[in-house]
Amino acid sequence: MPKEKTVRHNAQSEVSHNENPSDAARKNESVPQVKRKGMIMETALRDAHQSLIATRMRTEDMIPVLEAMDDVGYYSLEMWGGATFDSCMRFLDEDPWERLRIIRKSIKKTKLQMLLRGQNLVGYRHYADDAVREFVKYAVGNGIDIIRVFDALNDLRNMEIAADQVKKEGAHLQMCISYTLSPVHTLDAFAELAYQMSRMGADSIAIKDMAGLLNPVDCVSLVKAIKAKTDIPIQLHSHYTSGMASMAYYAGLEAGASIVDTAISPFSMGTSQPPTESLVAALAGGELDTGIKLENLVPVAEYFKKIREKYSNLIADIGGVDINILRYQIPGGMYSNLVNQLKEQNALDKLEDVMKEIPVVRKAMGYPPLVTPTSQIVGTQATLNVLTGQRWKVIPKEVKQYFLGYYGTAPAPLDPEVQKLAIGDEEPITCRPGEKIAPEMESADKAAGAWSLQPEDSLTWIMFPQVAKDFLPKKYARATKRDVGLNELVDNSAYPI
């Protein structure tokens, strides 16, 4: 769609309980002011701990270091979205919206960035258009400056509502290419995708290499191909699992990328990102100099060393480079999940067979990139094919929905015979999947009911109803200091207030 000039909806007026300290001028920047060729987004507050300690870092462990991080000179701090929303409530008993407000209050000079799964928001299914628009409105209103929007299938239709609302809110829209390897994921295809994103109003393009498969040679070619189609800034995101990320970053920056995602050293490498300090040092003194002083990173690194020790029992240690990532071309998280699933089934001896089955399943499903939720869908089907001894004998609901088009359009044609096995005589949809979902906000307002202390609670309920039904009453009880009776109501009795 052509780029439109839009007027920001004032979400602040609807989030009156929270004053965002970031000034309006910074919030309304649509394109980074590129004064340096090398810029850093720090991931310690989101993807680094999501990758290494299962997203378990508490807000209280972030607060003491925020001012020091704000003084570093990062381009942005990624601190919200992805799995943090679910984990905050499910495991930490924290309100993710409150985390955003707390961090925004302390970070006054640096942009805050989040990861948004397109029509999936920060959940695991597609949500109605009204919910997507409300979520973006309150995310920006509570302090987010940059929203990275991606879709597991690179289906632009699944990004368009979120992208449109980001532009209306006056925030920076970063549209994201989910990088993968397959016969249909060519340089020309990725470059055309980036061009279409620029036409949708993208202020920058992110290349999201979730498996760490992007090598430096291919990174140069990819950046140059995108640069030939559009001149908007490119940001590189990778994981260190294969050991190639730092090399790919340097090569990509040399080829014309502007920003790279790194993690402060105690939370770097392994399944996380390359270390911030190393990239800063490697670029110092050249035309890609980040302008960041290593001495400003020392207190941040020292602090996170202590935090790493605190969460040491959760650290996902892959023991250096995981060569299986290069052998099987799958993300590290997907590989470890499959190992755990097979262990539970006492079938770890079938791992090699499952790894060989993944490309077969992926081809039949039109070569989806292996990122949430498609990595889980493909992995589960491959495991079932091996354990049952017959391909497609058991087909989960999610796989059937995929073949019906409810996740979007696959990058390549689906195998018609397998599709017939999955959906029978049902007719696949051809429209944007979100068009099939009825509005959800009104019913969520009623469902959250008396437990709702803020408009955002309805959004929480929509995305995670099973978690919210326990979390919101507990939050209400803490806030109001009332005994709300968290046990089941028996024989019409009442709990004391």
Q: How far apart are the first and last CA of the chain?
A: 55
408-438 burial: b if 16+ Cβ within 10 Å, else e: bbbbbebbeebbebbbeeeeeeeebbbeebe
Asked if 112 and 69 touch (Cβ cutoff 8 Å), the reply is: no
What's the confidence (pLDDT) of residue 20? 46
What's the confidence (pLDDT) of residue 397? 96
What's the confidence (pLDDT) of residue 319? 72
Phi, psi of 208 (to 5 degrees): -100, 100
Per the DSSP assignment, residues forming a β-bridge with 149 are: 116, 175
What's the confidence (pLDDT) of residue 481? 83
C-alpha 373/C-alpha 407 separation (Å) is: 9
Q: Determine whether 365 is exposed, middle or buried from the number of CB atoms within 10 Å of its CB (0-12, 13-18, 19+).
A: buried
CA angle 108, 112, 113 (to 5 degrees): 175
What's the confidence (pLDDT) of residue 485? 63
C-alpha 233/C-alpha 28 separation (Å) is: 17
C-alpha 423/C-alpha 432 separation (Å) is: 19
Q: How confident is the prediction along the chain (497 residues), in pLDDT tens digits per residue?
A: 443 333 333 333 334 334 444 444 444 455 555 454 799 999 999 999 999 998 999 999 999 999 999 999 999 999 999 999 999 999 999 999 999 999 999 999 999 999 999 999 999 899 999 999 999 999 999 999 999 999 999 999 999 999 999 999 999 999 999 999 999 999 999 999 999 999 999 999 999 999 999 999 999 999 999 999 999 999 999 999 999 999 999 999 999 999 999 999 999 999 899 999 999 999 999 999 999 999 999 999 999 999 999 999 988 777 778 888 888 888 877 887 788 889 989 999 999 999 999 999 999 999 999 988 899 999 999 999 999 999 999 999 999 999 999 999 999 999 999 999 999 999 999 999 999 999 999 999 999 888 989 999 999 999 999 999 999 999 989 888 887 665 443 443 333 33
C-alpha 119/C-alpha 434 separation (Å) is: 7
